[in-house]
Structure 1
Amino acid sequence: MRHNVNSDSRNESEESGWKNSRILIVEDDAHISDIIAAGLQREGYRCTQAYSGSEAMLQLEQSTYELLVLDLMLPGLSGEALMGRLRGELSSSVPVIVLSARDQLDHKLELFGLGADDYVTKPFELAELLARVHAQLKRARPDREAETESYRHRELVLDNRTYQATVKGEPLTLTRQEYRILELLLKHPSRVFTKQDLYTLAWDEPYMGEDKTITVHISNIRNKIKAHCEQNYIDTVWGIGFRLSRTDS
């Protein structure tokens, strides 16, 4: 693993008002965990370290965190199982950055389907991980004072004060990107978004041409809505992209 402990990353967390964000590092390799913690602490973040999935679950049940850095190969409860319980029984939308030595596209898409917000392949530069942490926290708490407090389409409501989505009054457990995609569709109900549009706007990153990423997220949103409502809320515009549904079908 390439560790760039003396990174050139600036103290952006302090400058942006996130100096005290609490981050849970779930990594069974104590050496790697300590290096990550040291880098994050230099940026002003408060870190808690867990060395197994079971220990991490206890921490998540007892405390609140703004972000998780999650290794997959953990003793006992795996990273995938932990993320499933996080999004399921804990109904948490806290951002999760996954660490894994596997870099296959299908594996990444599977993790996004489970609720991961970002993915860093081992070995990695510490500066890159710090930048991704900052980006996730920025997306999680953007400055939206001038924006509308809520958006509604039929029985789907997004509340920008609490960053919660409901359909028929039932809460939807969405990842950050899923929430952002729905927000874009509701803010611009007459616009057709290409996959490139959605990726660029929801991830704040250049589009890398991975069409399946957007398709998986749209499918996840539809399934979560369908669990409470049979109406279709997202239309596929074949050959172009997606838009907010205009009908009740």
Structure 2
Amino acid sequence: MGDEMNRPRILIIEDDEHINNIIYDVLRKENFLCTQAYSGSEGKMNVTRHMYELIVLDLMLPGLTGEAFMYELRTELKCDTPVIVLSAKEKLDHKLNLFDLEADDYVTKPFEVEELLARINVHLKRNAKTESVSQYKHKNLLLDSDTMSVRVNNVELNLTRREYKIIELLVKNPTRVFTKQDLYEFAWEDMYIGEDKTITVHISNIRHKIRNHTEETYIDTVWGIGFRLST
């Protein structure tokens, strides 16, 4: 399972089952972890529950359209995951509208899977370069990923490895809500099998260690969903 944590996760949102399966099969052969969704609403649900390094998005979707998904992804969910759009529409004004919605790339249907794969690799490499920052600050908390240390009010916290990993995920993604499954699979690098109490205990321990140095709240509980960094 440890190897899976280092493999890029890609969400495929395409209502045509044949095209969706073709993309899925090609990406799986390239050692990517893939999730398939067949509507905009299903894609949005996946984004709220899991982290992805890239999204492949069709526009002509049932229910929540691709354009509406893009708008909600960037505004409501505040998610900056790179998005490659698939569409049969070729007009310039349509393409420009997609970039206004903050899509990162555009592939016109019908397309060669080799071209799509090349574009995916470019965006993954580009995104990896932007993640080279080693220090992350939130309020009076400073996380240093080089030394794997966390300081609050300039006092280093005595954290276990898994406590550090949980804080790391929250601090690096300050607008995201993470389920217990997300936190467990990231911190334990193992498959989640309903270890609700384990995550709850670790969150409680982290809060206690932070509270020794400040009265500020750093981790919020989102009831029925999971946890997020306090605003």
Find the partner of 1:103 among 90, 99, 102. 90
1:118 and 1:92 map into 2 onto residues whose CA distance is 16
Matched, 1:123 2:105: no
Distance 1:77 1:126, change over 3 A: same
Q: Equivalent residue for 2:61? A: 74
2:71 and 2:131 map into 1 onto residues whose CA distance is 30
1:70 and 1:59 map into 2 onto residues whose CA distance is 13
The alignment's TM-score, normalised by the length of structure 2, stands at: 0.55
Q: Equivalent residue for 1:195? A: none
Unmatched tracts of structure 2, length 5 or more: 137-144, 146-167, 169-173, 176-231
2:131 and 2:13 map into 1 onto residues whose CA distance is 31
Aligned letter for 2:116? L
Deviations 1:174-196 (A, max 9, x none): xxxxxxxxxxxxxxxxxxxxxxx
Distance 1:148 1:64, change over 3 A: closer
More helix per residue: 1 or 2?
A: 2
Q: Equivalent residue for 2:48? A: 61
2:95 and 2:122 map into 1 onto residues whose CA distance is 19
Deviations 1:123-182 (A, max 9, x none): 00000000000001011111775x8979xxxxxxxxxx99xxxxxxxx99xxxxxxxxxx
1:59 and 1:148 map into 2 onto residues whose CA distance is 28
Q: Equivalent residue for 2:208? A: none
SS in 2 for 1:64: coil
1:148 and 1:45 map into 2 onto residues whose CA distance is 25
User: How many residues were matched structurally?
Assistant: 138
How many percent identity over aligned positions? 55
SS in 2 for 1:98: strand
CA RMSD in angstroms comes to 2.7
Shift of 1:114: 0.2
Shift of 1:39: 0.5
Find the partner of 1:93 among 80, 85, 107. 80
Shift of 1:105: 1.4
Find the partner of 2:71 among 84, 90, 103. 84
Shift of 1:104: 1.4
Mapping 1:139-218, distance limit 5 Å: 139-142=126-129
2:65 and 2:83 map into 1 onto residues whose CA distance is 14
Aligned letter for 2:63? G
Matched, 1:52 2:39: yes
Shift of 1:19: 6.3
SS in 2 for 1:37: helix
